[in-house]
Structures are given as structure tokens and as C-alpha cells.
Amino acid sequence: MTNKAPVSAEEFLGGLAGQRIVITAGGAGIGFAIGETLARLGARIAICDVSGAALDDARKAYVPEVALHADVTDEADVDRLFEAAASTLGGLDALINNAGIAGPTGGVDEIDPTEWRRCIDVCLTGQFLCARRAVPLLKAAGGGSIVNMSSAAGRHGYAYRTPYSSAKFGVVGFTQSLAKELGPHGIRVNAILPGIIEGPRIEGVISARAGQLGISQEEMTQRYLQNISLRRMTSPYDVATMVAFLLSEAGINVSGQSLAVDGNVETL
């Protein structure tokens, strides 16, 4: 990378064209936005998702070269994903660990242990299972990038969402540890902490919390927005542009960081 100032968006985000990238849960929400954005910038994309309909939507919208039904908590599914990506793309330059679930809403004495384990498995263990398959491919490529999706809940305690918040705090620790471990191999590792993201998932979370408190969904939504300095939700494409920056030459010396894209969530 040269010392001259970039003169265009293409130069500023240099190095994305031709990158071989795996995105988990790439068929909807943030994953869809990331896949569409990176494909538009010339990257070659492999995705997985647990929804066949979401995979179909992605195939139509940005044409990933690999689009597999896979659960990131299933080691055999993860193996199939990375075998297909390596075979089709010819290697790997980046992993976007995006898959996650909202988990249960309730007091700690109300949460079913099965629901707790499922949330931790998807949001944290799934990232480990994908990273362990991605790292040998990234080393073989001479370096690359891993972006792990955490959350504003990985920075703030989140009452009544303890499984989710615990998993997302774990993602931050996982990210910092991997950045130290993999830096000597030229592999950058960062976490993104999205805030209140527009879409069906947050609508479900708000609805569940509103039901607990006995208030309307509209009132609960306003309570959430009052805790955001910019008083608005975040678009999935705001997160996607941060991913593009981290994978580009502009982000070549950014590693071990937890980057909030949330309008400044003050508390949860």
C-alpha cells in the first residue's frame, strides 16, 4: 500500500476485487447486505444459510458462486461449506462469521438451558468451527482477514437477553485472542458490533420485550431509540460498508479491534 492519498472509492477500497470470501448466514439481513456489497466490489462469494428461501434470494440478487444449506453448529455442515468454497473459489482470502440468533428473552431463572446452549452454540461456537476450517486456507493464501459479528450486546450488559449478550461478549474475546495468534501469519481479525439493526429479528426482540412489560411495540421501539445517541436504527448496509473497509487495503493495519456500527448505543 502506497503513502499517497486515495483519489477514488475504487482506490480507497482497493484489493477487494477477486477476493475469495465465505459469509455465514449470507442469505438475509446483515449477511445478505455484506454479500451483495462485496460482490458489487468484485469479490467472489461463498455463503451458507439455514433457510432455503434465503439462499434462493441471494442466488438471484448477487449470484454467490457457492450457496449451501448449512448450520454453523454442525461440524459436518461446516466441513462441507469450506470444502466447497476451497474447491470452487480455489482458496480463501476472508471469512465473515456472521451467523447468529436472537436467543430467548427472559429472566435468568426463566430461561431454558436448552435455549441457552443453542444461543451460545450458534453465536459463539459456530464462529470457532468456521475459523478452525478457514485458518489453514488463509495461511495457505499468505494472509487474509476474519470479521466476527459481535453486537452492542457484546459491549453492554443486556438484561433479559443474557444468553445473547454472553455469547457476543465471548466473540470479542475470541476476536482479540485470534488477532494475537494469527497476526504473525498476516491474518487480520476484527469484530463488528452492530446496534439496533432494522429488520425482522429486532422486531421480534422488541415484541417479546414489550409483551414482558405489558406495553405496545411502538412504545418499546421508542424506548430502544432513546438509548441511541443518533436516535435511529442501523441499516444492514452500514455494517456491510464497514466489512468492506476492513477487507480492503484501507484496513490493512486494523486488527484486534471491536468496531461499533450502532449510532452510539449508550445502554441496552
pTM of the model: 0.92
Identity at 208, one-letter amino acid code: A
Q: Classify residue 135: in a domain, yes or no.
A: yes
Q: What confidence score (pLDDT) does residue 140 get? A: 98
Nearest residue to 148 (alpha-carbon basis) of 165, 173, 166: 173
pLDDT digit string (tens) for the chain, length 268 residues: 445 554 565 667 889 999 999 999 999 999 999 999 999 999 999 999 999 999 999 999 999 999 999 999 999 999 999 999 999 999 999 999 999 999 999 999 999 999 999 999 999 999 999 999 999 999 999 999 999 999 999 999 999 999 999 999 999 999 999 999 999 999 999 999 999 998 887 888 889 888 888 999 989 999 999 999 999 999 999 999 999 999 999 999 999 999 999 999 999 8
Residues 131 and 203 in one domain: no
Residues 86 and 125 in one domain: yes
- Kindly state whether residues 131 and 210 are assigned to the same domain: no
Burial class (CB in 10 A: 0-12, 13-18, 19+), 183: middle
Q: Does residue 2 lie within any of the structural domains? A: no
Which residues neighbour 215 within 8 Å (Cβ) at sequence distance 6 or greater? Answer: none
7 within some domain: no
Same domain? 116 vs 201: no
Same domain for 64 and 159, yes or no, is yes
- Flag whether 5 is in a domain: no
Q: Is 101 helix (H, G, I), strand (E, B) or coil?
A: coil
228: containing domain: 196-233
User: In 3-state terms, what secondary structure has residue 263?
Assistant: coil
User: Which residues have a catalytic role annotated?
Assistant: 164
User: Tell me, what's the pLDDT at 3?
Assistant: 57
Residues 96, 65 share a domain: yes
49 and 171 together in one domain = yes
Q: Tell me, what CATH number does 24's domain have?
A: 3.40.50.720
Max Cα–Cα distance, the chain, nearest Å:
58
Tell me, yes or no, whether 158 and 81 share the same domain.
yes
Q: How far apart, in whole angstroms, are the C-alpha atoms of residue 180 and residue 174?
A: 10
Q: Is residue 51 part of a domain?
A: yes
Task: Collapse the DSSP code of 102 into the 3-class scheme (helix H, G, I; strand E, B; otherwise coil) and give the result.
Answer: coil
- Examine the domain organization and report whether 83 and 204 are in the same domain: no
Q: What is the pLDDT of residue 2?
A: 47
CA 33, CA 96: separation in Å to the nearest integer?
Answer: 12
Q: Look at residue 267 and tell me if it is in a domain.
A: no
Task: With respect to residue 222, please indicate whether it lies within any of the assigned structural domains.
Answer: yes
Exposed, middle or buried: residue 229 (CB in 10 Å: 0-12, 13-18, 19+)? exposed
Q: Is the domain of 38 the same as that of 143?
A: yes
User: Residues 86, 200: one domain?
Assistant: no
Assigned domain for 265 exists: no
How far apart (Å, rounded) are the C-alpha atoms in residues 118 and 161? 13
Question: Where would I find the H helices in the chain?
Answer: 9-12, 29-40, 52-61, 75-89, 113-120, 126-140, 162-182, 200-213, 217-226, 236-247
Are 48 and 68 contained in the same domain?
yes
User: How many domains, the chain?
Assistant: 2
